[in-house]
Amino acid sequence: MNHPCQCSPLGDSALLLSFGNQISPQINQKVHAAAERLRQARLDSVIELVPAYTTLTVYYDPCRITSGQPYEMIKEQVLNRLQNLESKKVGTGKLIEIPTCYDKEFAPDLEQVAKHCQLSPEEVIGLHTSATYDVYFLGFAPGFPFLGGMNKKLATPRLENPRQKIPAGSVGIAGEQTGVYPLATPGGWQLIGHTPISLVDFEKESPTLLKPGDKIRFKAISRSEHQEMETLR
């Protein structure tokens, strides 16, 4: 049998499927394709599936597996479903636009990032808005996307002293990553902009704007557009 992944236990109630050992869109697509397969398989004992960069975690209830040794049973069931896995189709794969205001007021670290990257602030905004980013997975906090696809020219280290509170909607850069904060949290990201749209709504059945496997683009908006969108919320 040709299995696309390695399988190991993550305690007695989860298993970890590993599809490779580097961060790449191709490997991450396999992760999402596997998640989709297993979602459709609706295995009785499976509680939930959590994708990450190169892995898919399958949480299950061993007490619901009544015959055989639970780990061996679930491993077999899962691996059987993942044969001949195609990596083409990725989740919903929706393209979502994040309107972002890069005005000074919302971008306390834009100058610093530009300086570090030896670019002008306009060039930073240009590079940041011209890429399409893959939502590799959500983690850290509700709705927080781990994005791939940032131009390496924008890579900037985190702040030496993290901020006590970063407002919800902040768009930032940390190392080779860019991201957007759905909730106000402490953090060390370099802040280069702010989106007026909300990324998480706990009252909705589907509480986050972004899903693993989506794609996003940042679209530059003016201060007045930002203000207008914020009042519409």
Please, which residue, 10 or 95, has the CB nearer to other proteins?
A: 10
What does the buried/exposed string (b/e) look like for 173-212 if buried means 16 or more CB atoms within 10 Å of the residue's CB?
bbeebbbbbbeebebebbbbbbbbbebbeeeeeeebbbbb
Q: Which of 34, 38, 56, 82 is in the footprint of other proteins by CB under 8 A? A: 56
- Taking each helix axis from N to C end, the angle separating 70-81 and 25-41, rounded to the nearest 10 degrees, works out to 110
Q: Which of 85, 119, 159, 183 is in the footprint of other proteins by CB under 8 A? A: 183
The least distance separating other proteins from the CB of residue 119, rounded to whole angstroms, comes to 28
Please, which residue, 160 or 203, has the CB nearer to other proteins?
A: 203
Instruction: Please list every residue from 97 through 156 that binds other proteins, using CB under 8 A.
Output: 137-144, 146
Residue with tokens 């670290």: 109
Please, which residue, 53 or 218, has the CB nearer to other proteins?
A: 53
Site for other proteins contains 59 (CB under 8 A): yes
Please, which residue, 179 or 196, has the CB nearer to other proteins?
A: 179
Please, which residue, 181 or 218, has the CB nearer to other proteins?
A: 181
Stretch of residues binding other proteins (CB under 8 A), selected from 64-72, 82-90, 99-107, 187-195: 64-72
The least distance separating other proteins from the CB of residue 37, rounded to whole angstroms, comes to 15
Site for other proteins contains 185 (CB under 8 A): yes
Please check whether residue 218 is in contact with residue 128, taking contact to mean a CB–CB distance below 8 angstroms: yes
What is the per-residue binding string for other proteins in 34-53, x denoting contact by CB under 8 A?
Answer: -x-----------xxxxxxx
Site for other proteins contains 26 (CB under 8 A): no
**In the complex, which residues of this chain contact other proteins (CB under 8 A)?**
8-14, 16, 18, 21-23, 35, 47-57, 59, 62-63, 69-71, 137-144, 146, 182-183, 185, 202, 205, 207-208, 211-212
